[in-house]
Amino acid sequence: MESEIKKRNIRALSQEELITFFETNGEKKFRANQVFDWVWKKSFTDFDSMSNISKETRELLKQHFYFNKLSIDTKQVSKDGTIKCGFKLFDGSIVEGVLIPTKKRMTACISSQVGCSLACSFCATGRLKRMRNLTYDEIYDQVVEINKLANDNYNKGLTNIVYMGMGEPLLNYKNTLESIKKITSDEGLGMASRRITVSTAGIAKMITKLGDDQVKFRLALSLHATNDEARDKIMEINQQNSLDSLAEALKYYYEKTGNMVTYEYCLFSGVNDSMREAQELVNFCKHVPSKVNLIEYNPIDGGEFEKSDPKSTERFANFLEKNGVPANVRRSRGKDIDAACGQLANKN
């Protein structure tokens, strides 16, 4: 009796490995390229739909491989047009992704982990236990599905991708970078690297590694405080990644890549929105060429913070601008469906 074939996730194979498989099984090399095109560029997850592949070859593929399919489990539409999806993974886990439409952009906000281990005090996702990392094909699939939503609902494809959903991308470093490689590849979605932003809570050694890998995508650092005492309270990760260590890592990153850094700074009333903190932020921005996105705080159940009032926000932004720091005030989108920054927690 023949031993049962142990199936593999076909998207875990490189193009070269797929070619080897076909040649080993007496198939022509070009068949592997055709299948690779179906799997990535066309984003198909069904062997029977590969119309230029013979039935015999499709059966061979089904004997040896499977797809870790991702599906939309829930969908909510905000009054401002933002669409939040709960994506069900092959093991039943749920992650969330968001389509953020504006006049100029169609942005996909995607997740990199099931849950998160960082427990930032202002973030609902941080209250979830980290279950596992997403594989690069699961990250890729979120982009594919959100791009379909953009085309179906707004007749326009994605212009930007931000890794700002659930999880810390740099704690899933390999899969994050591999997903970006597929998204930007001509064999994949062909999106320009400059259209992709990876956001991190601040892991100094991994920011240094981004420099070593000379990445082309954009980097955003969730800063939210301008001194270690305040940041320790807001973001536990700062206790192992001080602002000084982050500054050194960012200098190294900039030397290696030449990429400007974006600082995400959520304004909390009476916590980090004074003129003293504004001056400290100006000082921190001198380390590398950078800009600041000032983010409106989005309330979460039982949260300890309140958002900064409009006058304080305007005063803070104006101070940065007058001191040579480009600053944009980002208004929240999708708050009514818990789809805004810091609200993703699988709550529907």
Inside any domain, residue 345: no
The reply to whether 196 and 61 lie within a common domain is no
Quick: pLDDT tens for 109-144: 999 999 887 666 666 655 666 689 999 999 999 999
Q: Is the pLDDT of residue 341 over 60?
A: no
The larger pLDDT score, comparing residue 131 to residue 62, is at 62
Quick: pLDDT tens for 282-303: 999 999 999 999 998 877 655 5
The larger pLDDT score, comparing residue 205 to residue 305, is at 205
The reply to whether 82 and 145 lie within a common domain is yes
Full domain range(s) for residue 135: 71-337
pLDDT (0 to 100) of residue 185:
95
pTM for this structure? 0.90
Distance of CA 254 to the CA centre of its chain: 21
- Among 20, 48, 66, identify where a domain stops: 66
Inside any domain, residue 343: no
Look at the chain and report how many structural domains it folds into.
2
Distance between CA atoms of residues 151 and 100, nearest Å: 13
| Run of H or E residues at 77 | strand 71-77
Distance between CA atoms of residues 215 and 97, nearest Å: 24
The reply to whether 77 and 197 lie within a common domain is yes
Q: Region 70-99: what's the mean pLDDT?
A: 94
The reply to whether 53 and 185 lie within a common domain is no
**Mean pLDDT rounded to a whole number for the chain:** 90
The reply to whether 197 and 316 lie within a common domain is yes
The reply to whether 236 and 156 lie within a common domain is yes
Q: Provide the annotated active-site residues.
A: 96, 341
pLDDT (0 to 100) of residue 5:
80
Alpha-helical (H) ranges within the chain are: 15-24, 29-36, 55-64, 136-154, 173-184, 204-212, 228-234, 243-257, 275-284, 310-322
The reply to whether 112 and 232 lie within a common domain is yes
Inside any domain, residue 166: yes
The larger pLDDT score, comparing residue 247 to residue 305, is at 247
The reply to whether 39 and 162 lie within a common domain is no
Inside any domain, residue 348: no
Sequence-separated (6 or more) residues with CB below 8 Å from residue 112: 133, 134, 139, 163, 165, 166, 167, 168, 169, 172, 175, 176
- What CATH number is attached to the domain comprising 268? 3.20.20.70
- What CATH number is attached to the domain comprising 17? 1.10.150.530
pLDDT band at 320 (very low <50, low <70, confident <90, very high): very high
The reply to whether 175 and 43 lie within a common domain is no
- Tell me, what DSSP letter sits at residue 268? B
Q: Is the pLDDT of residue 184 over 50?
A: yes
Distance between CA atoms of residues 43 and 189, nearest Å: 9
Q: Is the pLDDT of residue 105 over 80?
A: yes
Quick: pLDDT tens for 82-93: 999 999 999 999
The residue among 233, 197, 201 whose CA lies nearest residue 218 is: 197
Angle at 120 between CA 118 and CA 121, to 5 degrees: 145
Inside any domain, residue 2: no
The reply to whether 78 and 127 lie within a common domain is yes
The reply to whether 57 and 112 lie within a common domain is no
The reply to whether 222 and 324 lie within a common domain is yes
- Among 42, 66, 90, identify where a domain stops: 66
